[in-house]
């Protein structure tokens, strides 16, 4: 039941974020919509969402994300490729070898193109070293 509630909440955020982005991108707009719902979930396949945030990057950075400017800048630097946010883990930081999966996801639109992305890390330490402080999932 908890997973279903989280999924409905995330879907609702997606609809709200998507409609806000579409409303801003009229025929005379210079900006393609870029609005995402970002989630962090505990688990892998049927992960239970523990945190969610909205992020809109065009024409200005906004949303419920605590630092939308930094998150939008990181996405822009990766050319909107969420796989581009994944870096080689920091070599000076060792993580425990226990399996406690954490799954991050992004759903919405980036520069007018539909996005549905998910990545599972072996644990939260592996997530933070692989995302290397880019701030997109720091909420």
- pLDDT digits 0-9 by tens, 80-115: 899 999 987 777 888 999 999 999 999 999 999 999
CA 48 to chain centre: 15
Would you say the pTM of this structure is higher than 0.95? no
Q: How many residues does the chain have?
A: 139
The pLDDT > 90 percentage for the chain reads 58
Report the side by side order of strands in the sheet with 48-56: 48-56, 35-42, 102-110, 113-121
Domains and CATH numbers, the chain: 2-131 (3.30.350.10)
From the list 124, 120, 128, the residue with the least C-alpha distance to 47 is 120
Q: What is the mean pLDDT of residues 56-72?
A: 94
Summarize the confidence of residues 19-29 as an average pLDDT: 46
Closest CA to 30 of 61, 65, 74, 60: 60
């Amino acid at each position: 039941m908890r997973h279903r509630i989280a999924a409905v909440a995330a879907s609702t955020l997606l609809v709200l974020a998507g409609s806000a982005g579409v409303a801003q991108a009229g025929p005379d707009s210079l900006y393609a919509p870029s609005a995402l719902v970002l989630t962090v979930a505990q688990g892998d396949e049927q992960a239970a969402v523990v945190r969610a945030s909205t992020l809109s990057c065009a024409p200005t950075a906004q949303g419920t994300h605590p630092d939308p400017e930094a998150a939008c800048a990181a996405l822009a630097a990766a050319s909107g490729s969420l796989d581009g946010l994944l870096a080689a883990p920091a070599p000076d930081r060792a993580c425990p070898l226990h399996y406690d999966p954490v799954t991050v996801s992004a759903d919405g639109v980036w520069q007018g193109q539909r996005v549905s992305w998910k990545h599972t890390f072996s644990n939260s330490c592996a997530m933070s070293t692989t995302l290397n402080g880019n701030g997109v999932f720091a909420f």
